[in-house]
Amino acid sequence: MSEHAAPREAPRTASGPAPWTARVLTLFPEMFPGPLGLSLAGKALERGIWALDVLDIRDFARDKHRAVDDAPFGGGAGMVMRPDVLDAALVAAKARVAKGSGRATAPVIYLSPRGRLLDRALARELARGPGAILLCGRYEGVDERVLEAHGIAELSIGDYVLSGGEPAALVLIDAVVRLLPGVMGNHESPAEESFERGLLEYPHYTRPAEWQGRKVPEVLVSGHHEKVRKWRQAQAERITEQRRPDLWARYVKDRDDEGPDR
Ligand code: 6GU
């Protein structure tokens, strides 16, 4: 995809509402769309199913050095992003939401290891909305007051620390975009995937039927669709129970709550 293919403003199609829009506030606008310009998300971006609007936080710095950060009150290592600069960027992002979609706002999310963990329920919830404003931090973090003032929710992608929120924003956008109507074809339906049924995926095989002395499980070449379905279900259960006791416990509980006829 060419470097101009990703619109900086959400395109307004002649008919219908604005597409799901990720408005990203970052000091590294060059990181976007990055991997999201390729493959499934990239094609959907080109087709206007979603839009990306990247704002460079440094454009909102007002002093002559264009400073976006300063030393922490109370001392300590690292730098903290200034609330006045972030506020100006957030006000601009919110105004662009209103202009683009006619909506008052989209949820504002600060990508941070302190946040609620991203899961499929949250990705689905976001996919149902108009988009999201994603604040990517660098340095030690952002001034707490701007989080309070803008009612910002914090969101983490796992219990490890990244050097900035940008890769987390890419992960979040990817997880949401693939749920938007029209992004996935029938062949890659999310209903069959890991987590959508509460189980990890069963093993996959393709040609050759024998490779380095390893044969594909007999049932898969048997042509018995019902046997294949049962085998895959049993494999998915085995793998989930072995690898993710947390998911397994929830699956067993949900299954038992739903009653015997499922
Ligand atoms: Cl969202 N941001 C950063 N900086 N580190 C993280 C993270 C987010 N999620 C896990 N680690």
89-108 CB burial, b ≥16 within 10 A, e <16? bbeebbebbeebbeeebbbb
Is 162 close to ligand 1, i.e. is its CB under 6 Å away?
yes
Is 121 close to ligand 1, i.e. is its CB under 6 Å away?
no
Tokens of 148: 């309070």
Strands 69-70 and 131-136: unpaired
Contact 221, 209 (CB under 8 A): yes
CA dihedral of residues 140, 141, 145, 148 (deg, nearest 10): -150
Q: How far is the CA of 161 from the centre of ligand 1 (A)?
A: 5
> Could you say which residues of the chain have pLDDT below 50?
1-10, 12
Q: How far is the CA of 115 from the centre of ligand 1 (A)?
A: 8
In this predicted structure, what is the pLDDT of residue 206? Answer: 98
Q: What is the pLDDT of residues 217-261, one digit of tens each?
A: 999 999 999 999 999 999 999 999 999 999 999 999 999 998 665
In this predicted structure, what is the pLDDT of residue 26? Answer: 98
Strands 210-211 and 214-215: antiparallel
Average pLDDT, the chain: 91
Q: How far is the CA of 157 from the centre of ligand 1 (A)?
A: 6
d(CA 81, CA 67): 9
Q: How far is the CA of 155 from the centre of ligand 1 (A)?
A: 8
Is 161 close to ligand 1, i.e. is its CB under 6 Å away?
yes
Is 153 close to ligand 1, i.e. is its CB under 6 Å away?
no
Is 157 close to ligand 1, i.e. is its CB under 6 Å away?
yes
In this predicted structure, what is the pLDDT of residue 220? Answer: 98
What is this structure's pTM?
0.89
d(CA 219, CA 262): 23
Kind and range of the H or E run holding 52: strand 50-56
Is 168 close to ligand 1, i.e. is its CB under 6 Å away?
yes
Q: In a mutational test of the pocket of ligand 1, which residue from 25, 117, 157 has the highest number of ligand atoms less than 8 Å from its CB?
A: 157
Q: How far is the CA of 251 from the centre of ligand 1 (A)?
A: 28
Q: How far is CA 82 from CA 57, 58, 85, 224, in A?
A: 11, 11, 6, 63
In this predicted structure, what is the pLDDT of residue 142? Answer: 97
Local structure of 21: helix, strand or coil: strand
